[in-house]
Structure formats: C-alpha cells, structure tokens
Amino acid sequence: MSAFLKWVLISVGVICVGLGVIGIFVPLLPTTPFLLVAAACFIRSSDRLYQRLVTHPMLGPYIRNYREHRAITRRARIVALVLLWATIGYAAFGLATSLALRIIVLSIATAVTVHLVRLKTLPENGPPKA
C-alpha cells in the first residue's frame, strides 16, 4: 500500500471517529456506521489505531456488538428508527418536490428499517458473558 493511500485511510478514519463521537450526542447523526467505516479504514492502514478503537471503553462496544453479534440494544434500535423516520418523513414530504425523489428517499428508509429490524437484540448491559 502506498504511503499516500495509508494517510488517506487514516484521515478518513479519524474524521469518521469524530463524526461517530458527535453522533453519540446529536440524535440525527448516527454513531455505529461512522465507527464501522473508521474501523474499516484503520484495519487497512494502522493496526495500532484499529486496536485502540475497538478496545476503547466507550466506542469499542458499538463496533464489537455489531461485528461479533450482528446486534444492537433495543433502545438503540428504537431511537434509530424514530429518528430515521422523523428525518426521512420530513425530507420526503416537507422538502422533496418530485415523486421520484420521495420514492427514492422512502425506499432507502425502508431498506435501513429492514436491516435494523433484522439485527438481533442485545440486553442493555451488552452481550451475555460466555
């Protein structure tokens, strides 16, 4: 891998970690997708940053729960679905001016909903210990 590509991946990963952290506090900004992108960037560019991210006491569980268990907590699912449909509803019926755009936006929201509903549900205190 070229040094340039390595630094691009590290930069994108750091930006995604920042957006993921902001997403913890800002309801309309998702956390887990940004952290998964950051983990993907780091695993290809910096093992040290990847290990630091997945072992972080606050951020690591988002990634581990999704990657290891394909699961999220019930609260996370409810919050994600409510915010998703509130945002998409506003975009589709308040902002979109064409029927085609509304159909595209609603189709994306439906696909994300199906994905979230299909994920397993973890207890609020994390995965059961083996």
69, 88, 105 - which closes a domain: 69
Range of the domain at 126: 71-130
* Residues 64 and 76 placed together within one structural domain of the fold: no
Q: Looking at residues 80-105, what average pLDDT do you find?
A: 88
Q: Which of 95, 77, 91, 90 is nearest to 30 (CA)?
A: 77
pLDDT higher than 60, residue 119: yes
Plot region of 128 (φ>0 → left; ψ -120 to 50 → alpha; else → beta): beta
- pTM for this predicted structure: 0.65
pLDDT at res. 127? 61
DSSP of 67-89? HHHSEEEHHHHHHHHHHHHHHHH
* Residues 7 and 45 placed together within one structural domain of the fold: yes
* Residues 7 and 63 placed together within one structural domain of the fold: yes
Q: What are the pLDDT digits (tens) for 25-83? A: 876 677 878 888 999 999 999 999 999 999 999 888 888 888 888 888 888 788 778 88
* Residues 79 and 113 placed together within one structural domain of the fold: yes
Total tally of structural domains belonging to the chain: 2
* Residues 127 and 78 placed together within one structural domain of the fold: yes
| CA separation for the pair 4, 111 (Å, rounded) | 35
* Residues 76 and 110 placed together within one structural domain of the fold: yes
